[in-house]
Amino acid sequence: MEDGEEQKQRHDDASSCPANITHVIFDMDGLLLDTEKFYTVSQEKILSNYGKTFDWSLKAKMMGKKALDAGQIFVKETGLEGILSAEEFIKQREAILHDLFPWSELMPGVERLVLHLHACRVPMAIATSSHRRHFDLKTLKHQELLSHMHHVVVGDDPAVKHGKPAPDIFLAAAQQFQDPNLKPHQILVFEDAPTGVEAARAADMHVVMVPDENLDKTLCKRADQVLSSLLDFKPSDWGLRPF
């Protein structure tokens, strides 16, 4: 088993070479789908009931995480421990989100990118911390486009023991391509959240980050490439056929 320093060196070596990407893994919330705004408004609403305001420094810590992990951060960081449990927070949030998710829209550039990679026969997957029931609600309107994914790994998949920033979800997604020759450095991950970028790096994969404009720029330093929109993505930067 290699140690952390060797892993880092291998990643740095891969980063400095022209990348030869063969497979792609997409995050979903805030990357493929414009759903992070739903989490933001629901969390603002819950917090306002306690006379407090939600801000982007707290958002940055919660985004990309499994529901319970995010809930625990929420009650701790807002000083609501002993007043609101993580479980009750999730219950209140779910009541709001349930009606919003079926309205989920694609982020700019998603359709062009997915169709292009499909035409280029690049195998694609989704790795989302969202659980299955929410995944189904969010993707109701996008079944056709997402049918181009080889597979989807959701946050409540038993293979995902530890949520992002642990590498579990990306390693599980890589394994499900069922290609014994596939190496992590051949995989390009697209993420919007700092915890997701950390998870991809921990899995030794390349990562393009497309952060929300409100996210603190210092939280974007760990990505191999940072874009303001998927519309700015250049496949040739990663050894893929241009649009």
Ligand X SMILES: O=P(O)(O)OC[C@@H](O)CO
Burial class of residue 201 in the structure, from the number of CB atoms within 10 Å of its CB (0-12 exposed, 13-18 middle, 19+ buried):
buried
- Catalytic residue positions? 27, 29
* Cα 167 versus chain centre, distance: 12
The answer to whether 27 contacts Mg ion (rule: CB under 5 A) is: yes
Contact with Mg ion (CB under 5 A): which of 14, 24, 193, 210?
193
Query: What minimum distance in Å lies between the beta carbon of 27 and ligand X?
Result: 5
d(CA 89, CA 72): 9
Task: Look at residue 113 and give the partner it binds from Mg ion, ligand X, none, a contact being a CB closer than 5 to 8 Å depending on partner kind.
Answer: none
When CB distances are held under 5 to 8 angstroms depending on the partner's kind, the choice from ligand X, Mg ion, none that residue 129 binds is ligand X
For Mg ion, which residue of 69, 192, 198, 224 counts as binding (CB under 5 A)?
192
Q: Which is nearer to ligand X, 14 or 198 (CB)?
A: 198
Residue pair 208/231 in contact (Cβ under 8 Å)? The answer is: no
Pairing of strands 124-128, 23-26: parallel
Nearer to ligand X, 11 or 65 (CB): 65
What token pair was written down for 51? 């006379």
Site string for Mg ion, 46-75 (x = CB under 5 A): ------------------x-----------
CB of 9 to Mg ion, least distance (A): 28
Question: What is the contact mask toward Mg ion in residues 86 to 105, using x (rule: CB under 5 A)?
Answer: --------------------
Tell me how far, at minimum, the Cβ of 91 lies from ligand X, in Å: 16
Binding residues vs ligand X (CB under 6 A): 27-30, 39, 63-64, 128-130, 193, 196
Residue 39 contact, options ligand X, Mg ion, none, Cβ 5-8 Å cut-off depending on partner type: ligand X
Contacting residues toward Mg ion, per CB under 5 A: 27, 29-30, 64, 192-193
